[in-house]
Structure 1
Amino acid sequence: MKEATLNKKKAVVDEIRQQIEAAQSIVIAEYSGIDVQEITDLRAKFREAGVNYRVYKNTMVRRAFNELGHDEFDELLQGPNAFIFSDEDMVSGPKIAEEYAKDNEEKLIIKAGFIEGKAIDKEKVIALSKLPSKEILLSMLLRGLQGPVAGMAQVSNAILSSLVYGLNAVKEKKEQEEAA
């Protein structure tokens, strides 16, 4: 029985380690006093954004981080913690967590985060939450790229129009000379 329990724990640690490796960003938040309806709504928001909200035993998460060579969270992993894994967009999880934490200060407290293989503190998680989403950043980039292209098209169009007007003027002049 003891070996079966140990194998189950190893499987959970492996699952956590895989989630850590696959995540664009991770938020570690302390939770307390969240009722069933609130947590259901919060999980739905996370799910819609492609974010995974999980509650694991701190010892399991600590072991998974330690296996990956990170011991920065050892002291933070105490008390009831939720782990928010953003797999698709690194901003989504922190943004939703920060919005909820701001409105429910005593129920969800952001402790730290993990991004690009590095531990980040609470302030950096909050700063990350203020960034625009990936889609908005891409649209901003496209608008920025579109401006010079549109300008070049307008200049090209003006040059072609001038050429057409010039050729038309030459044609009209030749027609007038032939008529006279």
Structure 2
Amino acid sequence: MKEAVLNAKQAQVDEIVDKMTRAESIIVVDYLGLNVAQVTELRRQLSEADVEMKVVKNSILQRAAKESGYEDLNTTFAGPTAVAFSYEDPIIAAKIIAKFAETTDVLQIKGGMVEGKVQTLDKINEYAHMPSHDELLATLASMLQSPVRKFAYAVKAIAEKQEADDSAA
């Protein structure tokens, strides 16, 4: 039986190692104090953004972090720990969790990894408050549109002035 338990734990470690190595970001949170409805809502929001949240024993997380090269995360694996894995957008998990944390006093980001580098809590919070990719594109489009619009108005004004001059002559 002892061997079966060890094999089961190693399977859990292997699963987490796989998730850690595939993830663009890993956000570690302390969820103590969240009720079932709040955890369900947080999971729903993360899931809609293709982010997976798992609650895993700290000993499993520590072994997986060591095997995947993120041993610096081990200091965050204390107390009740949930881990959010984002496989595409490196900052979306931090954004969603930080926004959700604003609605409750108990959810706290403990640290994480973004694009292969373990980040400080301050850096994770900085990422969480950055504009999203879509917001940045919208801002850029708006900035590019303004000079074009001004140019179009200037050309239109010149054309109207010439028409007025031609009709007066």
| TM class, shorter-length | 0.7 to 0.9
The equivalent residue for 1:34 is 34
Residue number in structure 2 paired with 1:125 = 124
Q: Deviations over 1:148-169 (max 9, x none)?
A: 8x58x96xxx7xxx9xxxxxxx
Secondary structure at the counterpart of residue 40 of structure 2:
helix
CA distance in 1, matches of 2:92, 2:137: 15
Contact 1:114 1:120 in 2 (8 A): yes
- Name the residue aligned to 2:166: none
Unpaired segments of 5 or more residues in structure 2? Answer: 160-169
Query: 1:16-165 alignment to 2 at 5 Å?
Result: 16-105=16-105, 107-142=106-141
Aligned amino acid, residue 50 of structure 2: G
- 1:9 — aligned with what? 9
**Structure 1 position 22, deviation (Å):** 1.6
In the alignment, the residues of structure 2 paired with residue 93 and residue 18 of structure 1 have an alpha-carbon distance, to the nearest angstrom, of: 18
Asked if 2 retains the 8 angstrom alpha-carbon contact of 1:91 and 1:132, the reply is no
**Cα displacement (A) at 1:144:** 5.6
Distance 2:85 2:117 in 1: 14
Shift of 1:142: 5.0
**Alignment TM-score, normalising by the size of structure 2:** 0.80
CA distance in 2, matches of 1:22, 1:7: 23
Amino acid at match of 2:110: K
Where do 4+ consecutive residues of structure 1 move more than 3 Å? 138-148
Percent identical pairs in the alignment equals: 37
Q: Which runs of 5+ in 1 are unaligned?
A: 163-180
Q: 1:10 offset after TM fit, Å? A: 1.3
Supply the distance in 1 between the matched residues of 2:46 and 2:70 (Cα, whole angstroms): 26
SS of corresponding position for 1:28:
strand
Offset of residue 143 of structure 1? 5.1
CA distance in 2, matches of 1:142, 1:64: 43
Letter in 2 for 1:49: A
- The 1:141/1:17 distance shift into structure 2, 3 A limit, reads farther
